[in-house]
Structure 1
Amino acid sequence: MKDSARLFEFQAVNEDTVKRMFAAFDPKASITYILPLMKGMSTSNYAVRTEGGNKYVLRIYPDNNDHMRTETTAYQYAKARIRTPEIFFFDDSKQIVPFSYLIMVFIEGSTLGDFIAGNEGCPDYVMHRIGSSLALLHQTEYPHMALLDEHLQIAEQLEPFASQYYTLLNGLAGTHIQASTKEK
């Protein structure tokens, strides 16, 4: 998979649109800096700095994969168990712009993908920390594989995990990997 591969088109917004989106969160905010963060695969993200030096992520959700409410609920659920980025504001009314978006704290650092590429792999201690955090998050058991709604309740039951391999590899996910990888 190429670094530039995206599942959903990047939503380009201009400075005026970003200011209107932020005004719903903080009408007094004076934006001094807007930078597109192109590494995402589905959401469109921007680093935004305000006059006071605060730095935020503006995350815009694609219309055909709008999971903002589910993601926001998942962060709230996770916050009781692990450190999570603080979400300051979210809007799915589509009154300001025709898509859902949220504003959250910007955390300085590199992505996990960049860390792995820079270290030619992932050290065991990092994998252990990730696994420990995931174990804390997955304390809730569901009777079967399912998609969850914004309240983390079952919204749609999924096919058994083993058959998902074939569905995913022959669907949208499979279009993003090479045929030899799918075969393996």
Structure 2
Amino acid sequence: MARPLLFLDVDGPLIPFGAADYPHFPPLPGPADHPLLARLDPAHGARLAALPCDLVWATTWFTDANDVVAPRLGLPPLPVVDDPTGFEIDGLHWKTRPLLTFAAGRPFAWADDEISPTDRTWVSTHHPGTALLHRVDPHTGLTDADFTTLTAWFAALAPSS
């Protein structure tokens, strides 16, 4: 059976942008021209890689996430969900439909700061598999509580021994 997926946004979950006092981390390898890259917590890479799932970028960084973000987190290049429309349709986030297409029925979690009730309803109606739409607070980014939620959700998917 294929492993579940974790669709991962960058701005908000990995690069918090609401708190002026958010800690800045030491410079990491890679281009440093984006002013918010210092907010990437390098420990997140190992924590994400340890989850029992396949990581997939679901971000407006698109393939730049592999060039700029992944190396700073110690992650390999990841698949990228791209979007043919680039805009919301009837209140549905632009990522929602492409995520379901990419998932192709596989269980998935989606960590993003822009998940709405419309997205939740659409996924529950159109996705035959299990899904967790996990909203991350963009002021804090991923926290221990978020990792606890994701870890528990993926563990619940594992077949019992």
**TM norm structure 1:** 0.27
Higher RCO (Cα < 8 Å, 6 or more apart) = 2
**TM norm structure 2:** 0.29
Larger radius of gyration: 1
Larger strand percent: 1
